[in-house]
Amino acid sequence: MLRVCGRLAGVRTQVRYKSSFAVALDAASKLVSPRLLWNNPISLVSNEMNTLAKNIMALIGSGHPTLNRVSSYYFETEGKKVRPLLVLLLSRALSEIPLSERDRIGIDTSDVPEDPIYSKLSANTTMFDTPVNNISPLHILHGIKPLNPLTKGPEPQTQPGFDRERGILPKQRRLAEVVEMIHTASLLHDDVIDYSDTRRGRPSGNVAFSNKMAVLAGDFLLGRATVAISRLQNPEVVELMSNSIANLVEGEFMQLKNMAVDEQPYVTENGKKQLPASSKKLDIKEHDYRVPSKDFKEGMPHEELINLAFEYYLHKTYLKTASLISKSCRSAAILSGAREPVIEQCYDFGRNIGICFQLVDDLLDFSVSAKELGKPAGADLKLGIATAPVLFAWKEDPSLGALIQRNFSHEGDVETTFKAVQKHDGVKKTMEFAKEYRNKALKNLHEVLPESDCRSALEFLTNSIVTRKK
Ligand code: FPP
Ligand code: MG
């Protein structure tokens, strides 16, 4: 018999939504079955989500007041927190798989609390272990003896231990925190690269503190994230998550368009933001849609060219967005002890939902105002980046190819492309494409997860990706 996950089953709860994402979820709830209306995904992991920021703060404390200010800056505002939410819900949904079918990692019962899911264990499990506070001696890690407060490491954690009601393992909880740290580090860097001036309705890190500090704070978050990953003591997870960091950089390289070496991030003329001109130091053809394919030939048929462009775009999208989500979903499954087929479906779920998420992000850049987004709209075109709505328009209008190739750098290119996207339903077609990935993600969930409130919550979250407005 299937155990009901959580106490919310059958109970209608009154939840006060705070975050912007919760508002989007609320809107999405109107589109799904009534059963899910009260089945708010956040409420199923609210303990973990509420303590997420506090736990991350403990992992990034440095003893250097300015570094602390910059590295904690993006955690102070309410972001969507989709990545940790996915990891926590998936972890809880995975706990519904009987333990007899989760025998892929070692077992040590000394740590096993009396709880409805795990109390009947007799074998050894490392699954329930909390992440260790350190592996090497502290004086080695900090490099100074006696410890200098400026080089102090993460605060020793008082581990909450295993959550018996929710079935989320301590290591999965830490994984959720690490994923948000890596994502936040990438945003600090991304805002420097994109010359952004706002993020989550506030000045972006580069504007509030300078490019240099934003980059260093991002590096610091990555450093602390990798320390925390290693303390999960699972080499497979260390490999996956480290690789997801490398993938983020690879994806960002694939979409680099502006090779400016100008010291000034931007100049303002007549109140308009202007990006520095490209230095032309690098051949930007190395960063266009032809790169991954040896099949590119000068003068090849338009349709084949479009296929190559989509191939490049999807590869970049996987690296830039879906890799972190898919590899963290895979890691959550590995930490649960689940077997290979479950691990594979969890990975595919993360990849499909990740690509869906980025497709929607790319279409919102064309369809939503800057005020609603909390960051500048139309930013991709201005950066010279052609995303799915433009590629769909290009398919219908081959003359856009020249504009794409010159990264929309001529006067009027951005406006012409915007109009072409409207004329050829680029936004609508991108939404249809996103829904295909949403459907694949829903199928992945059904393939391997037993029916539970948490699985329903994951479906709800997956559906709400395509209805979000920011
Ligand atoms: C947001 O994209 C950015 C990313 C999803 C990844 C950025 C990755 C890097 C800068 C590489 C460095 C990585 C690390 C881990 C330090 P976007 O510009 O489309 O979204 P936005 O509109 O929210 O800025
Ligand atoms: Mg950006």
Least confident of 21-35, 281-295, 299-313: 21-35
Percent of the chain having pLDDT more than 70?
70
pLDDT tier, 1 (very low <50, low <70, confident <90, very high otherwise): very low
Q: How far is the CA of 108 from the centre of ligand 2 (A)?
A: 44
Q: How far is the CA of 92 from the centre of ligand 1 (A)?
A: 28
C-alpha distance across the termini of the chain, in Å: 40
The C-alpha atoms of residue 26 and residue 37 are separated, in whole angstroms, by 8
How many Cβ atoms from other residues are within 10 Å of residue 410's Cβ?
A: 11
Asked if residue 122 lies in contact with residue 220, where contact means CB atoms within 8 angstroms, the answer is no
Out of 248, 256, 321, mutate this one to test ligand 1's pocket (max ligand atoms within 8 Å of CB): namely 248
Ligand 2 (ion): which residues have CB within 5 A? 190, 194
pLDDT of residue 288: 57
Out of 190, 229, 360, mutate this one to test ligand 1's pocket (max ligand atoms within 8 Å of CB): namely 190
Query: Could you read off the pLDDT of 101-141 as tens digits, one per residue?
Result: 888 875 444 433 444 344 444 444 566 677 777 777 776 77
pLDDT of residue 95: 92
Structure pTM?
0.81
Query: Could you read off the pLDDT of 132-189 as tens digits, one per residue?
Result: 777 777 767 766 655 555 566 666 655 555 555 567 898 999 999 999 999 999 999 9
Residues in contact with ligand 1 (CB, 6 Å cut-off): 182, 185-186, 189-190, 193-194, 196, 218, 222, 245, 248-249, 252, 320-321, 375
Name the burial class of residue 277, with classes exposed (0-12), middle (13-18) and buried (19+) by CB atoms within 10 angstroms of its CB.
exposed
Bridge partners of residue 267, in order along the sequence = 274
Q: How far is the CA of 386 from the centre of ligand 1 (A)?
A: 16
Which sign, positive or negative, has the C-alpha torsion 86, 89, 91, 96?
negative
pLDDT of residue 115: 43
Q: How far is the CA of 197 from the centre of ligand 2 (A)?
A: 10
Asked if residue 176 lies in contact with residue 325, where contact means CB atoms within 8 angstroms, the answer is no
Q: How far is CA 179 from CA 59, 68, 108, 261, 280, in A?
A: 13, 19, 26, 31, 36
